[in-house]
Amino acid sequence: MKDLHTMKVYEEQGGYRSLKKAFAQKPEEIVEAVKASGLRGRGGAGFPAGLKWSFLAKDVFPRYLCCNADESEPGTCKDRELMLKNPHMLIEGMILCSYACRVETGYIYLRGEFHDLNFNLEKALEDAYAKGYLGKNILGSGFNFNLHTHLGAGAYICGEESALLNSLEGERGEPRMKPPFPAVEGLYAKPTVVNNVETLCVVPYIVNEGAEKYASLGTEKSKGTKLVSVSGHVKKPGNYEVVLGTPIREIIYDLAGGIRDGNKLKAFIPGGSSVPMLPADQVDVSYDYESLAAAGTMLGSGAMIVIDDSVNIVETTLRLISFYMHESCGKCTHCREGTRWLYQIVERIMQNKGQLEYIEKMEDICDNMAMKTFCPLADACVSPVVSSIKYFRSDYEEYFKNVPVSSV
Amino acid sequence: MSDNEVTLTIDGKSVTVPKGTKVVDAAKQVDVAIPVFCYHEKIGPLGCCRMCLVEVEKMPKLMTACTMDVMPDMVVKTTTEKVEKAQKGVLEFTLLNHPLDCPVCDKGGECPLQDNTFKYGMPDTRMEFHRANNAKATPLSPVITIDRERCIACQRCTAYSERIEQDQGLVMLNRGFHNEVGTFNNEPYDNRFSGNVIDICPVGALTNTDFRFKARTWDLTNAATLCAHCGCNCNITMGTRLNKLMRVEARPNDAVDDGWICDKARWGHHFVHSENKILTARENSRGDGKPTSFPVLPHDCTIEVAAGKVAEAFKKIVEEHGPESVGFIGSPYGTNEENYLYQKLFRHCLGSNNIDHKTYQDAPGLPVSHYDVEQIETSNVVLLIASDPTEELPILDLRIKKAVTTCGTRLVSLNDQKIALDRYSSQSVQYKVGCEALAIDALTNGLARELGESAPAQGSDQSGVSAEDMKSLVETVRTSMKICVVYNPSALSGEAVFGVKRLLKMIAKVPTMECGAMPAAPMTNAVGAMDMGLLPGFYPGAVPMSEQEEIKKQWGENAPTGTGLSALEMIACAGKGQLKALLVHRSNPVMDFPGGSQVVEALKKLDFLVVHDMLETETAKLANLVLPSNGPGYDEGTTTNIGGRVQARTKALETDHAPDWKIINLMLNALGDETDYDKVADVTEEIAFRVPGYQEISKRSVGKTGCNRESIASADELVSAKPAGPGKNGSLRLRIATFLFAHDKILEASSKLAHHFQPSTAYLHEKDAQRLGIEDGDTVLLSAENVNLEATAKVNNRCQSGGVVVPRVSDEQGVNGLIGVDGGMAWVEIRKV
Amino acid sequence: MSGFTFSAEQEKEIEHIFAKYPFKKSAMLPLLTLVQRAERRVSPEAMVAISKKMDCSPAYVQSVMSFYTMYHAEKVGNYLILFCINISCQLNGCDKLLEYTAKKLGIKVGETTPDEKFTLHREECLALCTEAPMMRINDTYYGDLTEQRIGQILDSLD
């Protein structure tokens, strides 16, 4: 829709009408509604949003709401488009969430590279303040809410909620020890809700249309719709909104137009680079949290990266390991050393100097790294390695065939 | 089991610990050692190294024991297959790019990485790539070397810098694999506690530059002893090899140093091997060619002979001129045993009470409890009076920071100068230089008014503290409920110290108030010297001369009970020819007493001057006879720190020379006292017997961590403060401040800490600077008492207008010469050069 | 070290920044960004100035600054080209295009042109995956790149 980012058009489309409705209810009722809707966090972890909100430490004030707009998960670009085209929806969602959680100050943590987007958001904020949707005594409800934007400075790890909080507090973006969880001790050690852009954008719908309507979409455990950023070897890459439970085949072949250049699908990563990849024969898996979990992967951030058969998976894997190696914060030993070691091994394999034993070694290294680190970045690095070995071992073995005998 | 305790099972063993204890600490209680690198009890959990992974029933993943709080009925397993594999994995990652430097690494033999690898790691590595290279052996400061290749990025040192030192000097730079420990713009990591990172680094990344390659740790003989510098008496370990001091490490004692030592403790003990040591007894010709009528020391005589000669000479003088003609100037750097024996010698054998150890006024004992250092953390308010812990008692600075930032303690500073700790104080009240008595009395009077008591002191509003500030200070003190007053008697001019005692009495009157105090003079054993009666008006245990009965009961019928001469009075009397003989022990009046050349003249007039000291001094040059003192490193005995804690010094180095207590014993013998002390503990035993407050002190009770002596009550003082008189036109009141790294006999030119030496500086208030036409950076001349001292002016309002602060930065500076020989307030003229 | 001082305009901006947060410390990244954008790098002098404003040590400022990719110790060119090389872009042939760009500018990746006009860096995912391959030049995103388009874009910048 054209100009949806302007206040005029947004209001014409019914924007901000949820506020009055919400203020007529008690904050707890809204939390319950979000719980009942089955909305799960759309940033990557998929944690039930309403439940997260209810974890806020009782009777501790002030509280904060942070919108995680750090969008750095490779393959993911839905939040950028959302904020570019429909910033007011985010603002509206944040106002509702803050009302429900009794929060009076909110921050939108944007990744540093979204500098221009920040201008747009600030303009939208200005307009919202002017209309009385933000600030003191919003629409006469007695509820105050101030919202600001905050830019990061280039660190993927700051998308992790506790690292985001550290970064917002002006520190190095290293994750924090949990417990305590942000809901108890978050920003400035106060109870804080951290939610993804998309998650918050759903809230106005739930308030306007009701939790049941939202829950009527999707599957039993994955309610509602999801924005999927489809990229890679497809004819029509783009952001698509799908009802959860849609078969992936539909997403890749119908929405995104199928594989380009007449190639065949080889693999796809259904939830951003941090989740295990799946081979083409799994393309009928249903696009929802539980089905993907059953298939050994995750819905994650909802970025569908499509890989066709023109590619040797090892090359892709190396590129991904390289990403995690660069983005590791360096705090814990496994991630700092392990991501680099994996990179060195795969690099050597690609230089035709590898040995078959490397695969077992990599599997063991991944086993030593997974679930033992301070935060899940190491697990994210391990995902492409383990899944590529599992499903595309032959791609690795291709390289071993080329190893000259004398170099072993 | 109370609500505050939790019971859990670790490796099948049940253990009950307070809520909030980490699993790794709970495990120690049942002798289960969980390996760690980044965890340190004092710094807190970091979760970086992942070495302490353990299995916890009902939890899906392995958890780090150092970050996990104990939970009721938790079942922890540390030796399962899963855990063992994880431990091997951690060590493999940790060693992945760690250089195989063990053969040349100083940490070898005491390296947690080595130890953990032996216990939990694999014998081999699967890493076949070139290990990453990084900067080797780079100076992080003149005394610390950093080897970034060895660093395992455990972040212990950076966390130490942030949480303990709280100055964020050492930080992590970059990200990920490029993580490295560094400072701002590669500047040296140069504060006064930097050396502790050497102790806490779990690998050989941060090493002691001074100790580098000098000895293998397993070749060292380690002595558990005490630092010999300030009044904190931090516990240290002196490592020696082939009877040479190799290095000093911290020896954690929660009651004193909390596990840390300052850099002066770590690198400031090289004086034990100084070229300026006095090694044998000798006679001086005194340079005036006059023959002495005193016994001549045979060449190469034994110490028995020398001691005997000294004793005889003193005896002779007493016989001729009476006991008032001899005197003893002792030292707050002597041990309790040495001090005790010397006062016994002079009182018991020579009948003289001319005994002292300082130039400022003070009396022993307190009207309130004598708080130990630990109590700073449990106090609600810490009130500093004339005290600058950062320069005078560094570990106290750390302790106060800890209390303020983690224990909710409030710091209040009542000082004549700005101090570094002002950053942490909730109130910094400044009085004019020289007006401490007025300020303290104003506080006392303020409290009295609130309590409905009569004001005990003369009121005055001339102290430089505004009425508002004083009111606020009174309120803070009154409502504190538990207050610890830390005051520096050596920085209080005139009789102000008695004002402090009066203040303490008044504070104690506040209902439901818990009040304690700490006399925080910077010298090692200032409290001990007072306790041992190195005072003209008190016997050991703060027994005043007026308690004649008690004195005679304890010390015999002939014990002298007339108040003797103070140190400054002794100098004055020497100058007048009334004092004939003086024995000076571990003290240097020529340099350290006020009076400059007048002190020299006075000492020259003595018939007999004996100096018993460790290093050659200006005073020793003037002596007839010089006796050698072994000093710290070699000596044994006890010292009493600012918290009233008596701790033992053990010797780290061997020597044939007799210890001081033995020398004094020989003198005692020569004068008819037949007590024979076999070992220093015998003297300690006698102290326990004779000195009130020290009854429980023995070698056993002191042990390795010390033992508090009883609080000693002070006698009533009825001295009222006199406001400091007005000075000559334009002159400023002089405040000599302590500077930790002064260039003196202890920290010589060759000292490893020489990079801390500072030039002579005079700190002015802008009003005075303007009036005198002086700008920041100008060279100025301070003049008083015919002494001129050059300094660089710094105009930063360190003190109020009317005063000038001059830190004592070296012996050469001769700053004490600016004060008159009677020790009163010094007024200096300042002009631009 | 000669000092770095904030201009009057920057001071105003800094006030505005401080007002957003209940605690000063949150202004660290905004202040660093302010300096980076104005000076094209964050110098030690600037770090000292920031530390004074933030009431912390210069070492701490350097610690934070060196963590984040967007702060540079060395001056970057007038146009900072960040070329995405992450998965979606790689799958769409970014490697060859990066090579082309480097060649066109006459520098190696990671370097700055002698006239200080362009600096070329590889960069991780910039969130324009559906228009891969892409690059970011200063604040502008350019997607669906081809050699031709790259050429046009670079030529259009003065």
Mutate to test the interface with B, among A160, A184, A331 (most CBs of B within 10 A): A331
The pLDDT, as a whole number, for residue A406 is 60
Condensed to tens digits (0 to 9), the pLDDT of residues A10-51 reads 998 888 999 999 999 999 999 999 999 999 999 888 899 999
> Cα–Cα distances in Å, from B186 out to B139, B141, B182, B450, B752?
10, 10, 7, 54, 20
Minimal Cβ distance to C125: which of A72, A116, A237: A72
**Section B241-269 average pLDDT:** 96
Domain with CATH 3.10.20.600 in chain A: 225-308
Regarding the domain delimited by A7-213, which CATH topology (the fold level of the hierarchy) does it fall under?
A: Rossmann fold (3.40.50)
pLDDT over 90 at B728, yes or no: no
Q: Rounded to an integer, what distance in angstroms lies between the CA atom of residue B530 and that of residue B365? A: 8
Chain A hits for B90, Cβ within 8 Å: 333-334, 368, 372
> Cα–Cα distances in Å, from B616 out to B237, B598, B599, B810?
27, 20, 17, 16
Condensed to tens digits (0 to 9), the pLDDT of residues C113-130 reads 999 999 999 999 999 999
Minimal Cβ distance to B172: which of C58, C63, C68: C63
Say yes or no: B168 contacts chain C, CB-CB below 8 A.
yes
The pLDDT, as a whole number, for residue B490 is 94
On average, the pLDDT of chain B sits at: 92
Contact A113 C63 (CB under 8 A): no
Say yes or no: B627 contacts chain A, CB-CB below 8 A.
no
pLDDT over 50 at B818, yes or no: yes
CATH code of C79-156, in short, is: 3.40.30.10
Q: How confident is the model at residue B719 (pLDDT cuts 50, 70, 90)?
A: low
First to last CA, chain C: 33
Q: Which amino acid is at A18?
A: S
Q: Where are the domains of chain C?
A: 8-65, 79-156
Say yes or no: C47 contacts chain B, CB-CB below 8 A.
yes
The pLDDT, as a whole number, for residue A179 is 86
pLDDT over 80 at B715, yes or no: no
Q: Rounded to an integer, what distance in angstroms lies between the CA atom of residue B773 and that of residue B760? A: 19
Measured between CA atoms, the residue of chain C closest to residue B185 is: C44
Architecture of the domain spanning C8-65: Orthogonal Bundle (1.10)
Domains C8-65 and C79-156 share a fold: no
Cβ pairs A/B, distance under 8 A? 88
Contact B171 C59 (CB under 8 A): yes
Confirm or reject CATH 3.40.605.10 for domain A314-400, answering yes or no.
no
Segment among A200-214, B275-289, B371-385, B795-809 with least mean pLDDT: B275-289
CB A192 within 8 A of CB A63: yes
Could you say which residues from 102 to 131 on chain A have a Cβ atom under 8 Å away from some Cβ of chain B?
none
Nearest to B326 by CA among B547, B536, B627: B536
Show the 3-state SS of B236-250.
EEEEEECCEEEEEEE
pLDDT over 50 at B91, yes or no: yes
Minimal Cβ distance to C67: which of A172, A305, A306: A172
Say yes or no: A297 contacts chain C, CB-CB below 8 A.
no
Distance from CA of B508 to the nearest CA of A (A): 38
Say yes or no: A178 contacts chain C, CB-CB below 8 A.
no
CB A31 within 8 A of CB A51: no
Condensed to tens digits (0 to 9), the pLDDT of residues A121-178 reads 999 999 999 999 999 999 999 999 999 999 999 999 999 999 999 999 999 999 999 8
Chain B hits for C57, Cβ within 8 Å: 167-169, 171, 184
Could you say which residues from 40 to 59 on chain B have a Cβ atom under 8 Å away from some Cβ of chain A?
45, 47-50, 53
Neighbours of chain C (3+ CB pairs under 8 A): A, B
pLDDT over 90 at A403, yes or no: no
pLDDT over 70 at B404, yes or no: yes
Cβ pairs A/C, distance under 8 A? 142
Q: Which two tokens stand for residue C36?
A: 């980076």
**Section B155-177 average pLDDT:** 96
Q: Which amino acid is at B95?
A: L
Contact B153 A369 (CB under 8 A): no
Q: Which two tokens stand for residue B453?
A: 């008591």
CATH code of A225-308, in short, is: 3.10.20.600
| Half-sphere exposure at residue A281, Cβ-oriented, CA atoms within 13 angstroms | 2
Condensed to tens digits (0 to 9), the pLDDT of residues A244-286 reads 999 999 999 999 999 999 999 999 999 999 999 999 999 999 9
Say yes or no: C135 contacts chain A, CB-CB below 8 A.
no
The pLDDT, as a whole number, for residue B711 is 84
Say yes or no: A235 contacts chain C, CB-CB below 8 A.
no
pLDDT over 80 at B302, yes or no: yes
* Rounded percentage of chain C residues whose pLDDT exceeds 90: 96
Distance from CA of A224 to the nearest CA of B (A): 30
Minimal Cβ distance to A340: which of B88, B172, B177: B177
DSSP 3-state of B516 = strand
* Rounded percentage of chain B residues whose pLDDT exceeds 70: 96
Mutate to test the interface with C, among A66, A171, A239, A275 (most CBs of C within 10 A): A171
**Section B624-642 average pLDDT:** 94
Say yes or no: A323 contacts chain C, CB-CB below 8 A.
yes
Distance from CA of C36 to the nearest CA of A (A): 11
Minimal Cβ distance to C64: which of A170, A231, A233: A170
Segment among A186-200, B282-296, B436-450, C69-83 with least mean pLDDT: B282-296
Minimal Cβ distance to C44: which of B171, B173, B185: B185
Contact B172 C44 (CB under 8 A): no
Nearest to B831 by CA among B765, B785, B772: B772
How many other CB atoms sit within 10 Å of the CB of residue A402? 12
Instruction: Outline where B615-710 has alpha helix (H).
Output: 618-622, 660-670, 680-690, 699-702
Condensed to tens digits (0 to 9), the pLDDT of residues B748-784 reads 999 999 999 999 999 999 999 999 999 999 999 999 9
Contact B85 A374 (CB under 8 A): no
Say yes or no: A353 contacts chain B, CB-CB below 8 A.
no
Q: How confident is the model at residue A296 (pLDDT cuts 50, 70, 90)?
A: very high
Q: Rounded to an integer, what distance in angstroms lies between the CA atom of residue B648 and that of residue B642? A: 15
Contact A369 B89 (CB under 8 A): yes
Beta-strand pair B75-77/B53-56: antiparallel
First to last CA, chain B: 74
Measured between CA atoms, the residue of chain C closest to residue A172 is: C64
The pLDDT, as a whole number, for residue B1 is 56
DSSP 3-state of B413 = strand
ipTM surpasses 0.85: yes
Say yes or no: B446 contacts chain C, CB-CB below 8 A.
no
Distance from CA of B367 to the nearest CA of C (A): 41
Minimal Cβ distance to A153: which of C33, C82, C131: C33
The pLDDT, as a whole number, for residue A408 is 47
pLDDT over 90 at B310, yes or no: yes
Measured between CA atoms, the residue of chain C closest to residue A308 is: C91
Say yes or no: A147 contacts chain C, CB-CB below 8 A.
no
Q: Exposed e or buried b for every residue in B218-244, given b needs 16+ CB within 10 A?
A: eebeebbbbbbbbbbbbbbbbbbeeee
Measured between CA atoms, the residue of chain C closest to residue B183 is: C59
> Cα–Cα distances in Å, from A256 out to A127, A292, A306, C145?
36, 20, 10, 19
Nearest to B639 by CA among B584, B566, B702: B702
